Each structure stands twice: as C-alpha cells, then as structure tokens.
Amino acid sequence: MTVPVGIHDITLATARYALDLGELARRFDVDVNKFYTGIGQRVMSVPAEDEDIVTMGASAAARLLERDGGPMPRTLLFATETGIDQSKSAGVYVHGLLGMPAECRVLELKQACYSAAGALQLALGLVARSPDERVLVIASDIARYDLASSGEATQGAAAVAFLVQRDPALIEIEPASGLHTLDVQDFWRPNSRNTALVDGKYSVKAYIDSLKGAFDDYRAHGGASIDEIDRFCYHQPFTKMAVKAHTSLLQHTGRPADRQAVADALAPTFTYNAEVGNSYTASIFIGLLALLDGDVDLTGERIGFFSYGSGAVSEFFSGRVMPGYEAHLHRDEHASALLARESIDYERYLTLHPGTEVSSRGDYTTAAGAGRFRFTGVREHSREYLDVERAPESSTAAEQ
C-alpha cells in the first residue's frame, strides 16, 4: 500500500488595509456591480508601507510552525512573482525571522501564478524520496496594476503557508497530473516596473485554452474523469474567472454547462478570494482554504485543482480530502485575518500604490504598522526586517 502524501496544514495571512471596490467604482464613475457581480470581487487587500511578501509569508508560516508538533521542515520553498531581490530568496529572510535551523534548503520559485503549485509538486517528490521529511511551502504575492487600468480592480495581496508530508491531515494529492506550457505574452512584469502589463481579454483566453490542454493531459496520464471529481478549485485572479473556466471545461468534455449552476458549485471556493483580491500564486490555495473552512463535509471527496500562471504554465491535478480533516481547520484564524484589516478610502490607497516605475530611494525607514513582522526599510541596499515579538530593537540584517 502506498503511503499518502499531501497537505497536512495550511493557513493564510493578508495585508493591513482593505479597499472596497465601491471606492474604485465611485472614483471612475463605474457601476459597482461591474466589480461585485461582473468580476465577482468585493474588496482588495492593500499592504502597508512596512509589509511585503516576506512579512506576509512569515506571518502565515509562523502560525503554522508554532502550532505544529512535528519535526522542523528541512526544505522551505518560497513561491512568488513579487520578488524583492534578484539573487537572495525571500524565503531566506523568512527562515531568519522564524529562527529556523540552519539544516534547511531554501529556494525561491517563479512562474507567475503557477509557482506555488509547482512548489507543491516538488515537495511531494522530496517527501516521496525521503518519507520522514516535511516541506514548508510559502506562497506570497502582491498583485499590482497601473492606476486607472482595467486590471486595477483585480489587485490584491496575501500569503499562504502549507506543510507537505506523508499521512497528511487535510488532503492527499493524487499522482496523476496534467501539464500545459505555451510561450505567450498575456501578462508579464519587466524588472523596471512595479506593476504588471497585461492583455486582459487575451489572458482570459490563454487561461481557458491552458485549462483544456492541462485537463486533457491529466486524463492522458491516468487522471479521473470529470464525473469522478466532486469539487473544483481554480486559480482566481478574480472569482468570475473560475466560472468562465469551469463552464468551458464542461463544454470541452461534452457535459451540460449552466453558468449559474457552475457559479453555485464553485462559490464555496470564492469566499476569501473575493475579499483579498488576486494574490497570484497564493490564490488557488486560498480557494482551497475557503472550501475546507466552509460548512459542507468534504470527507473522502476528490478535488480537481487548476493552477494557471501567465506566460504561460499550468497544471491540472487532484487530491482527496482526508477523514477527520475538520479537526485540523482554523476557521477563526482565517476569518480574523480578514476582519483585522482597516478599511481605507481611494485617497489613502493612492498614497500606498507604488506607481509604475521602480525608482531607487536610497536609504529609507518605513512607518511602523501593526503587524508582528515588519519590513523596516533599506540601509546600504539591504532590506531590513523585524520580528516585533522576538527582537524589538534589532533587525534581522543587524543580527547577522
């Protein structure tokens, strides 16, 4: 009998501020239902000046490790497309902030919104080879588009952290997987820019074409038929994207495709993403968290996952919900991460948007926010971080 390998525990963190999309609708004189209903988004998380992918990732991972009784993970995979350095992995900063042992490999992975699903697959391989090992995966991103662009309403910020190990408490990931890679220019972010460039309508088409290709490959590699999959969990740049995608998949496989029925079936995966916005590589796992945290018993059900990263790499894979999973959920923690955000208006949001071009600010210090982990500023080209609970007077850089 093969030993199940998969996701043992998972949690999320998001940013300090929340901008209701009603603020954008008012500013641009657009019917708010274009956002609330048309793209299925209500609110976007907006980071404070002292927050970034490291602070969000550390915040999620700290909670995960603090409640975990197992051996320390020997691998930390950090998935992001909001890189803070061309050389050093953001995961190494998190490793330092969390005081993880030196006996650990740390890597950063990038391929748009796909990289956390890729990290999951690498983690499964590591555990299959060394069954006593555990892998910590962190996915952390800040989605930013130009002000007044069509993508602006689909910004957001969040991180997830999850542990991959044998005999997982939550989800066993099945071996079959379907892959699809195509060199397309639907969405990209040159090094000179803070904001992504996107061909919005083309990106939607590329997503759907990739889904069909990845699902066909999943089937060709022993994956379950569409009728044997109980739930679907999609990458959600905006929640309506998942509805469009699943409707197309049903048509592709010759099944009836009523859009309202699809929206209702996928809705349990939308509750968190509709409130945080696009969190790029974290988004599919935030969809999973919302599904698990919902009020339906999922025991034994098969979930089909579709991860899409523009550019474009995608994967369709599946997993089974483990018996007893409900005892390992942390619903209150996730609800309070969202509720703790402070609502801001459009004017305040403008002051937090970094603008299009990357500019060198030299040395600077950030204003202190309320989070446990802080990006405190830059000194001599070096980013500095602080764990307020552990080292109030020093930064990680100063400690090294």
Binding residue for ligand HMG, selected from 3, 31, 355, 359, defined by CB under 6 A: 31
Q: Find the catalytic residue in 8, 180, 235, 246.
A: 235
**Cβ nearer to ligand HMG, comparing 14 with 396:** 14
By CB under 6 A, what part of segment 300-329 binds ligand HMG? 308-310
Q: Has 235 been annotated as catalytic?
A: yes
Cis peptide upstream of residue 312 (ω within 30 degrees of 0): yes
Task: Assess 260 for contact with ligand HMG (CB under 6 A).
Answer: no
Residue bearing tokens 């307020």? 388
- Say if residues 294 and 314 touch (Cβ distance below 8 Å): no
Name residue 243's amino acid: V
Name residue 279's amino acid: S
**Cβ nearer to ligand HMG, comparing 28 with 364:** 28
**Cβ nearer to ligand HMG, comparing 4 with 38:** 38
DSSP tag of 37: I
By CB under 6 A, what part of segment 193-212 binds ligand HMG? 198, 200-201, 203-204, 207
Cα–Cα distance list, 192 to 27, 32, 143, 197, 357 (Å): 28, 33, 16, 12, 6
Binding residue for ligand HMG, selected from 113, 117, 242, 321, defined by CB under 6 A: 113
**Shortest distance in whole angstroms from residue 149 CB to ligand HMG:** 7
CA dist 371 and 49 (Å) reads 11
Size of the site for ligand HMG (CB under 6 A): 29
- Say if residues 315 and 114 touch (Cβ distance below 8 Å): yes
CA dist 353 and 145 (Å) reads 9
CA 384 to chain centre: 24
Q: Please, which residues have CB within 8 angstroms of residue 37's CB and are 6 or more apart in sequence?
A: none
Q: Please, which residues have CB within 8 angstroms of residue 73's CB and are 6 or more apart in sequence?
A: 100, 104, 133, 134, 135, 136, 163
Return the number of other C-beta atoms located less than 10 Å from residue 220's C-beta: 10
**Shortest distance in whole angstroms from residue 304 CB to ligand HMG:** 17
Binding residue for ligand HMG, selected from 34, 212, 353, 372, defined by CB under 6 A: 34
**Cβ nearer to ligand HMG, comparing 235 with 246:** 235
Task: Assess 349 for contact with ligand HMG (CB under 6 A).
Answer: no
**Shortest distance in whole angstroms from residue 124 CB to ligand HMG:** 22
By CB under 6 A, what part of segment 62-101 binds ligand HMG? 81
Give the residue closest to ligand HMG by C-beta: 38
Q: Find the catalytic residue in 113, 152, 330, 334.
A: 113
**Shortest distance in whole angstroms from residue 24 CB to ligand HMG:** 11
CA 286 to chain centre: 6
Return the number of other C-beta atoms located less than 10 Å from residue 266's C-beta: 24
Active-site residue set: 81, 113, 235
Q: Which residues bind ligand HMG (CB under 6 A)?
A: 31, 33-34, 37-39, 81, 112-113, 150-151, 153-154, 187, 198, 200-201, 203-204, 207, 235, 237-238, 241, 278, 280, 308-310
